Amino acid sequence: MRIDKYLWCVRLFKTRTMATDACNGGKVKLHGDNVKPARELKVGDTLEMKKGPITRRYRVLAFPNSRVSPKLAEQFVEDITPETEILKLESLKFVSVVRRDPGAGRPTKKDRREMEDFMVDEDDE
């Protein structure tokens, strides 16, 4: 099965076009090598996908006949992402609260109070 079709069928991408674009953009790797969308997959292959700040890893378990429901997708793909990558994602959730995008302008009163509440130590209260 083509890699772009597989990624779409097991719901790793919302559309097949998005899966194709990710393959062409170098965000999908098979055994560490960049792949084209038409590359054929085999059972047991290991995929790496760059999604946001982390690289997720998946193992191909089987091939669906067509797009499957999210519940059934677990039968066809296994998430083998290392725990360190998942922890990296968790830590970035807290950083985004404090950091503001450049050009976002001055913080509103509500934003400022939320930042102060987040930054205040519990010893100070």
Q: Is residue 66 part of a domain?
A: yes
Q: Is residue 106 part of a domain?
A: yes
Task: Say how far apart CA 50 and CA 90 lie, in whole Å.
Answer: 16
Q: Is residue 64 part of a domain?
A: yes
Q: Is residue 125 part of a domain?
A: no
Q: Which residue has the higher pLDDT, 124 or 35?
A: 35
Here the CATH number for the domain that contains residue 41 is 3.10.290.10
Say what the pLDDT of residue 114 is.
83
Q: Which residue has the higher pLDDT, 53 or 70?
A: 70
**Total tally of structural domains belonging to the chain:** 1
Q: Is residue 93 part of a domain?
A: yes
Q: Please say whether the beta carbons of 19 and 49 come within 8 A.
A: no
- Candidates 82, 76, 119; CA nearest to 97 is 119
18 φ, ψ to 5°?
A: -65, -40
Q: Is residue 57 part of a domain?
A: yes
Say what the pLDDT of residue 39 is.
94
Domain residues for the domain of 49 are 3-119
Say what the pLDDT of residue 123 is.
44
Q: Is residue 58 part of a domain?
A: yes
Q: Is residue 124 part of a domain?
A: no
Is the confidence at residue 6, as pLDDT, over 90?
yes
pLDDT tens digits, 65-113: 999 999 999 999 999 999 888 888 777 776 655 566 777 788 889 988 8
Q: Which residue has the higher pLDDT, 32 or 118?
A: 32
Alpha-carbon dihedral of residues 87, 89, 95, 96, nearest 10 degrees?
A: -160
Contacts of 63 (CB under 8 A, 6+ apart): 1, 6, 9, 41, 43, 76
Q: Please say whether the beta carbons of 7 and 30 come within 8 A.
A: no
